[in-house]
Amino acid sequence: MSQDCAVAGLADIWSECVRRFPNKTAAIAGEEVLTYSQAHALAGSLASELVGRLGLVRGGRVCICMRNSLEFYLAYWATHLAGGVVCGVSPRLGPRESGYVVRTSGAKILFSDAAPPCEGSAIEHILGVEELRAFCGRKAAVPDVAVGRGEDLAVLAHTSGTTGEPKISEVTHRDLLFNLRTAILAHSLRHEDVIVVGGPMFHCTPLYSLMPSAAYLGASLVITPETSAAAQARVAADSHATVWFGVPTLFHQLAAAAEPEKLDLACLRLIAYAGSPMRPETIRRLSERWPHLALHNFFGLTETISMTHVLPAGDALERADSVGKVLPEVFVRIMGEGGAEVKRGDVGELCFHRRNVIRAYWGRPGLLEESFDGDWFRTGDLAREDEDGYLYLQGRSKDMIIVSGENVYAAEVEGAIARCRGVADVAVVGIPATGVRASLGELVKAVVVRSAGSEIGELDVKRFCSRELASYKVPHVVEFRDELPCNVTGKVLKEKLK
């Protein structure tokens, strides 16, 4: 850290935390527990090897393609201590997509427990778990290099890549400093917290929010490769976790778990979820089983430096279909066709001011600006805001279904069907109208996953919807599946439902 003691980057945050809380637990991964001083020794040695042996220069990109692990955590902090830029790569991407991210990043160093294709890339060094651990064990001093700060690039985070090539967001140190403060405020995170990272570490929430916030506060992270709710609940219980971040699918599983009394979650105070709304039935069941738990829905985009909205715990059930209220210093508008704000209660496109948005997509100059209308970033998400300032997503603009000239918002139909007894999950899409119904233009199709033991049928769904919705919004087609196709972050792949 510079002599003026200014905290202007992630390396500053980490070094200050190590100085103030050397004996505080930094990370828990299975049987391995590291204090901040122990983690600093390992990450510092790895940083020294990155600079001295592998030639990492200030601003050089380092790809991390690993499952959730202590190695991912150490590689993340070592890269920042070495003045580099972290590029998270999903190990679950297909070869074409992962190869694209690695190649486009221009990285020369790749940490991987299952290397993605590197053909045509700049990769010169691939380090697996054993090589990473060997470098960590050399007991070298933290390199004396200029680290990233302020407007320097800190992280490259790719979108899920559900359509076309993934976009790679440029995130600066200033961006992350803003976001970690937002995350702390949104969830009342504190020094004493023990936080379970329930989602993949390459995703924006861990990269932007959880790892930086934990170091900023001196809190502890619980890292696990487990993906099932039961396994993560055991990890949370064993580590005496206080906060658990994950996607709604994870907590649907938790709510449906048999013998919940065997899951000792007495220390847990908060479950935070994002990616899609949580079904009221799930919220109700979680609240009944663990009344002491607060439940937070939160929202943000890779492009908006992650968190922008949070739903207060007291509204979790009554406003289950809302992503909450906008956070301080986040500037949002809901805009209509001509670029003017719509009236509260009306549906429009969700837009954010450029100060809350990344500066560019890496390797694709000018592409981000195509989504701006003046200073406002058009997300492509349809939304409405009620009189009390609660935001309700209505789906992507491409998810709006036009039935005989009437607008049908997929999210509204999904919300109605989710309230129907016997429904575990649902997604709604528009499909072309054909035959005698061709004049309608599009039809509403609902894909439903039944609850365990449910025998609900197509007629039951339609009858329920007819009591909840306008007639033109009632699904024309109801299909039942065992599960909905989702990407690694829990978002439904709607193109596979049409």
- Of the pLDDT bands very low, low, confident and very high (cuts 50, 70, 90), residue 34 is very high
d(CA 118, CA 323): 39
Whether residue 396 has pLDDT greater than 80: no
The pLDDT tens digits for 421-479 are 999 999 999 999 888 887 788 899 999 999 989 999 999 999 999 998 888 899 999 99
The pLDDT tens digits for 366-381 are 999 999 999 999 998 8
- Say if CB 179 and CB 370 are below 8 A apart: no
Whether residue 97 has pLDDT greater than 80: no
Give the tokens for residue 377.
Answer: 């970033």
- Of the pLDDT bands very low, low, confident and very high (cuts 50, 70, 90), residue 386 is very high
- By the 10 Å C-beta count (0-12 exposed, 13-18 middle, 19+ buried), 45 is classed as buried
| Average pLDDT for 175-188 | 95
Range of lowest pLDDT (87-101, 119-133, 313-327): 87-101
pLDDT at 23: 98
- Of the pLDDT bands very low, low, confident and very high (cuts 50, 70, 90), residue 488 is low
Whether residue 163 has pLDDT greater than 60: no
- Say if CB 201 and CB 174 are below 8 A apart: no
pLDDT at 489: 63
| Average pLDDT for 45-71 | 97
**What are the residues whose beta carbons fall under 8 Å from the beta carbon of 185, sequence distance 6 or more?**
327, 328
Domains, in order of start, for the chain: 10-330 (3.40.50.12780), 404-497 (3.30.300.30)
The pLDDT tens digits for 328-344 are 999 999 999 888 999 99
Q: What value does the mean pLDDT of the chain take? A: 91
Whether residue 195 has pLDDT greater than 90: yes
pLDDT at 282: 87
- Of the pLDDT bands very low, low, confident and very high (cuts 50, 70, 90), residue 3 is very low
pLDDT at 436: 82
pLDDT at 93: 73
| Higher pLDDT among residues 91 and 170, named by residue | 170
| Higher pLDDT among residues 210 and 281, named by residue | 210
The pLDDT tens digits for 269-317 are 999 998 777 778 889 889 989 999 999 999 999 899 889 999 999 999 8
Dihedrals phi, psi of 128, to nearest 5 degrees: -90, -170
- Of the pLDDT bands very low, low, confident and very high (cuts 50, 70, 90), residue 4 is low
Range of lowest pLDDT (209-223, 259-273, 469-483): 259-273
d(CA 198, CA 295): 15
pLDDT at 1: 46
